[in-house]
Amino acid sequence: MYKVLYKYTEISIMQQTFPKRATSCCKGWCVVHDATLILSDGTWFTGIGFGRRAPLPADLVHMEHDESPLGEVLFNTTMGAYHEILTDPSYAGQTIVMTSAHMGNYGCDPSWDETFLHRFTCKSLILRDLYDGPLPPGRASLGHLCAQWNVCGLTDVDTRALTLHLRSSGSQYGVVVEGIGHDTQAIRMVTGWIRSCPAMGERDFITPMTVPEPIRFESYGDQHASYALWDFGTKASIVEQLRRIGIGVTVFPASIPLVSILSSDARYDALFLSNGPGDPASLQSHVKQIASVIGTIPVVGICLGHQLAAQALGAKTMKMLYGHHGPNHPVRDLISGNVYVTAQNHGYCVDPSTFPPSAMVWLVNDNDQTVEGFFDEEHRVMTVQFHPEAGPGPWEARSLFGAFRRFVETGVYKILAREAEHAC
């Protein structure tokens, strides 16, 4: 039996209690300890810490925000794929709550990494139940990797109550600390420290997530085109899907000016804007650079790249209450009528009323009607908000990489019937 108790004070505390399980859980690779997730609104959830040891409240308030386990708390509805999620650079600066109850049962493998930096990118991981049993040979446990890669973990949490709270109150900062229990004075001290943290839009998450120097990836088989990918925190599976359709990709750090990339001796058929973390409105210097090259080279993009391309055309982005994080989001193609089941990870979206007349909204989310993709044939721009590469799935939207390639080649939207045969 799980019991959730609600206590209302001037800092709006919500407490959850569980029967404690044996602290032998996860033994051998991390220190298990009582810990608490405290949100900026004063709500708190207790659990058992694993991985990186959470700081004591008295130590936390003397830490810099970037060195602490402070993150924007959001929930992800994926039933597995925890390794790919934790290594997705778009989660930099965030704390991930997994809504599925059981995590870690098939272990972790470095071949599943989504970052070229080969490390976890999020700040903390919140679970209902962390698996601590046998694994296939050669795989590491989820808890071991959290300890190795300095991620604070918290298990035995009422993730259902936490998710419902985030759905109603919205994503917000939170931090994992050791102990606390019923110490309301410590909770007030921690929430005060949380509120002193700069807003997400005022922080730089791109610099630590972009590649340090250009990396070239040749296509598999015959090469039909070469793209310059401007890296804001790209997923490795995006590059993989481009290579599979005959596209060579050079990944460039976000710090290299576009004018330097496109004026080099190498010739590129398109500029690809990657996914990445943070608020797109904070990247105005990059938006101006994109605007300066639109019309001179085809531009395609995914997720953050979609938002930056829209801004470069004059559109505005806006913060969502809790965003889209997880698989099985239905996306409708307004032209063909097809519906794709997609993987998503974004907390911002484009305001459709701010697009220029030349842009056409191509894809919408069937749940909330937010923009999921647009193209502009006049300016040769095509983007999607979701993740068609979908590592590890669902895969049916991967066919849209073919649409990207044809748009770059012809400047015209076209989805082939065989590419949409798996859509609803």
Is 349 annotated in the active site? no
Which is the catalytic residue, given 306, 324, 379, 387?
387
Closest by alpha carbon to 17, among 44, 40, 41?
Answer: 44
Write out pLDDT tens, residues 367-397. Answer: 999 999 999 999 999 999 999 998 877 888 9
Helix (H/G/I), strand (E/B), else coil: 270: strand
Residue 12 binned pLDDT confidence (cut-offs 50, 70, 90): very low
Q: Whole-prediction pTM value?
A: 0.91
Q: What is the pLDDT of residue 326?
A: 95
| Single-letter amino acid code for the residue at 281 | A
Is 329 annotated in the active site? no
pLDDT over threshold 60, residue 25: no
Write out pLDDT tens, residues 331-364. Answer: 999 998 999 999 999 999 999 999 999 999 999 9
Q: Please give the Cα distance from 211 to 75 (Å, whole number).
A: 27
Phi then psi dihedrals of residue 402, to 5 deg: -65, -35
Closest by alpha carbon to 237, among 210, 200, 274?
Answer: 274
pLDDT over threshold 80, residue 208: yes
Is 197 annotated in the active site? no
Which is the catalytic residue, given 178, 303, 346, 379?
303
Residue 15 binned pLDDT confidence (cut-offs 50, 70, 90): very low
Q: What is the pLDDT of residue 6?
A: 27
Average pLDDT, the chain: 90
Helix (H/G/I), strand (E/B), else coil: 375: strand
Q: How far out from the chain centre does Cα 260 lie?
A: 28
pLDDT over threshold 70, residue 48: yes
Helix (H/G/I), strand (E/B), else coil: 104: coil
Q: What is the pLDDT of residue 207?
A: 94
Q: What is the pLDDT of residue 119?
A: 73
Provide CB contacts within 8 A for 335, sequence distance 6+.
362, 413, 415
Which is the catalytic residue, given 372, 389, 396, 419?
389
Greater confidence (247 vs 21) lies with 247
Looking at residue 343, what DSSP letter applies?
A: E
- Count the residues in the chain: 424
pLDDT over threshold 50, residue 7: no
59-95 as b/e: b if 16+ CB within 10 A: ebbeeebeebbbbbbbbbbbebbbbbbbbbbbbbbbb
CB 49 within 8 A of CB 176: yes
Domain map (residue ranges) of the chain: 3-197, 215-420
Q: What is the pLDDT of residue 2?
A: 28
CB 285 within 8 A of CB 254: no
Q: Please give the Cα distance from 222 to 5 (Å, whole number).
A: 62
CATH number listed for the domain at residues 215-420: 3.40.50.880
Q: What is the pLDDT of residue 31?
A: 63
Range with the lowest mean pLDDT among 9-23, 51-65, 227-241?
9-23
Q: What is the pLDDT of residue 99?
A: 97
Q: What is the pLDDT of residue 9?
A: 29
Q: What is the pLDDT of residue 421?
A: 53
Q: 3-197: which CATH topology? A: Glucose Oxidase; domain 1 (3.50.30)
Residue 420 binned pLDDT confidence (cut-offs 50, 70, 90): low
